[in-house]
Amino acid sequence: MSDKDRANPEKIRCDACPVLCYIADGRSGACDRYANHSGELVRLDPLTVIQGGAPAVAFMDSAGGEPDWDGDLIKGYRPFVTAVGAGTTYPDYKPAPFIVSQEIDDVDMVTVVTEGIFSYCGVKVKIDTDRHIGHERAVVRVDGEAIGHVMTGEYGSKMLSLGGVDHLTGGSKKEGRVTCDALLRLCNREAVEMTIDDGVTIVVQAGHAPIINGEHEHLMRVGCGSAAIGMFAKQWLPLVDEVIVVDDHITGVLSEHEAGRGLDMRPSGIRVTGRKSTAGRYFNVANPGTGWGGTDVVDPLTIIKSIDPKLAWSGLRLLMISTTGEQWEFYELDDELIPQPADISKPLLATARRIAENCEPSLCSVLFMGGAGGSLRAGVTENPVRLTRSVKDALTYVSCGGAKAYVWPGGGITVMVDVMEMPTNSFGYVPTPALVAPIEFTLRRSDYAALGGHTDHIKPVNSVLTPDIRKLSPNSNQPDPNDRQNYSWTKSEKGKH
């Protein structure tokens, strides 16, 4: 930008992030969050306040007064000023944008409200599905750029670790931009399509079922094959002679399993492929895939290794079923001890439906994770380490957009929060690139003074409750149609820097 442009009085400099945009009148900055309104720098998104309301179940004290304290530092029945729309104070030695006081049960409380610029941040994604999406450590890509990897799977769920400083700032400019955009959309509960190396194409959206290779998932497994045997063995006993629950991890065989033995089931002589772990429990019966139970199995009979003629018998009834109950086949052994498709009885079909009934809906969960850096903490106190110690000592309650944040043990203030618990559009970005996320610190006023807080900047909560704020009821995830101020900004008209 030329010196002439810098001196142009119609342009003002935004210092809300390190980009330092020069913004012309009627234009927004590169982040779409700040704009020049007749020479004044204004925030486009309104400050969000969670409106206080009576708890769903109000436990009053013996005198019928205020609810007894249940450990909730933020007191959900009062207005709570979130950091959504609060703005930032870059460079962060400045006090946080809002330091709000409220008297609660005769205790003077302070909430320090700021939006943090998080270069060290990412999301953890939990995908409830049996299907194989990619091997552990496989690279996850958006628009061809690496944005993360597949993590260790959990029970009934696949896990992704996306973002982080190495992808945001450690790769190419395009990688950083694509990563930041994907994180922003995920955190704001939008759908993002990803590809996994040597795996699937998947659409992830918080609060929605995943779409894997174009197919919507429906159910999360009831348990592994062995667990399903243990849960339903007694219901199967009078209806069938053998059940094989096909699973990528632990395939269960009913008559061999301890559950079948405990019910005095007759051994069927049917053996499955794979590596035997303990009685009736088999590993590696097939390769991972998008078929039965997260395997590549399309025809379940392919996992039968042998049938012992000394133990099996003609007419033996065999049910093969997946861990969600969505796939099943029923067979009877003929005179040659070869499984033949047969009509399933209504009671046995009901047990298959019972498995599906016990499966929870398939869902994508997105958890934002970030570290509150020393500079962000300086906006709370002149001695940032005291804030860290106050959080560790449980004197300071940490929230993100009013949602309870889990603070990881160890050094620093590393928080994790479910984006579904936060107000809509809680997240922004700056093109450094980094995410902008809300964070609040609530503590007693006396404790705030003791840790060297910016007490001269404390304001009563009533001074914050202006007509321009966005008001949300507790646990509301619905967008407010009036949540933007009446400025006619065009998002494509961004300031240059």
Regarding whether 208 and 234 lie in a shared domain, the answer is no
Kindly state whether residue 207 falls inside one of the protein's structural domains. yes
Regarding whether 252 and 196 lie in a shared domain, the answer is no
pLDDT digits 0-9 by tens, 199-246: 999 999 999 999 999 999 999 999 999 999 999 999 999 999 999 999
Choosing from 335, 357, 379, the residue where a domain stops is 357
Regarding whether 229 and 203 lie in a shared domain, the answer is no
Q: Flag whether pLDDT at 185 surpasses 70.
A: yes
pLDDT digits 0-9 by tens, 112-164: 999 888 989 999 999 999 999 999 999 999 999 999 999 999 999 999 999 99
Residues 6+ apart with CB under 8 A from 82: 47, 48, 49, 50, 113, 399, 401, 402, 423, 426, 438, 440
pLDDT digits 0-9 by tens, 22-80: 888 888 887 777 888 888 877 777 788 887 643 333 334 444 455 454 555 445 456 78
Regarding whether 229 and 202 lie in a shared domain, the answer is no
Kindly state whether residue 394 falls inside one of the protein's structural domains. no
Question: Alpha-carbon distance 441 to 378, whole Å?
Answer: 13
Kindly state whether residue 390 falls inside one of the protein's structural domains. no
Choosing from 184, 201, 220, the residue where a domain stops is 220
Choosing from 167, 198, 220, the residue where a domain stops is 220
Kindly state whether residue 157 falls inside one of the protein's structural domains. yes
Indicate the number of domains in the chain: 2
Regarding whether 234 and 166 lie in a shared domain, the answer is no
Regarding whether 203 and 262 lie in a shared domain, the answer is no
Q: Flag whether pLDDT at 178 surpasses 50.
A: yes
Kindly state whether residue 389 falls inside one of the protein's structural domains. no
Q: What is the pLDDT of residue 476?
A: 57
Kindly state whether residue 299 falls inside one of the protein's structural domains. yes
Average pLDDT for 82-111: 85
Regarding whether 192 and 267 lie in a shared domain, the answer is no
Kindly state whether residue 51 falls inside one of the protein's structural domains. no
Q: Enumerate the β-bridge partners of residue 339.
A: 333
Reported in sequence order, the residue ranges of 351-475 that DSSP labels E, i.e. its strands, are: 364-371, 397-400, 403-404, 406-407, 414-418, 428-430, 434-444, 458-460, 470-472
Which domain does 184 fall in, by range?
A: 121-220
Kindly state whether residue 491 falls inside one of the protein's structural domains. no
Regarding whether 312 and 215 lie in a shared domain, the answer is no
Regarding whether 210 and 309 lie in a shared domain, the answer is no
Regarding whether 209 and 235 lie in a shared domain, the answer is no
CB 119 within 8 A of CB 129: no
Residue 355: pLDDT band (50, 70, 90) is very high
pTM of the predicted protein model: 0.85
Distance set, CA 233 to CA 184, 229, 254, 338, 424 (Å): 46, 5, 7, 24, 45
Regarding whether 351 and 301 lie in a shared domain, the answer is yes
Regarding whether 234 and 206 lie in a shared domain, the answer is no
CB 225 within 8 A of CB 219: no
Which tokens sit at 487?
């400025």
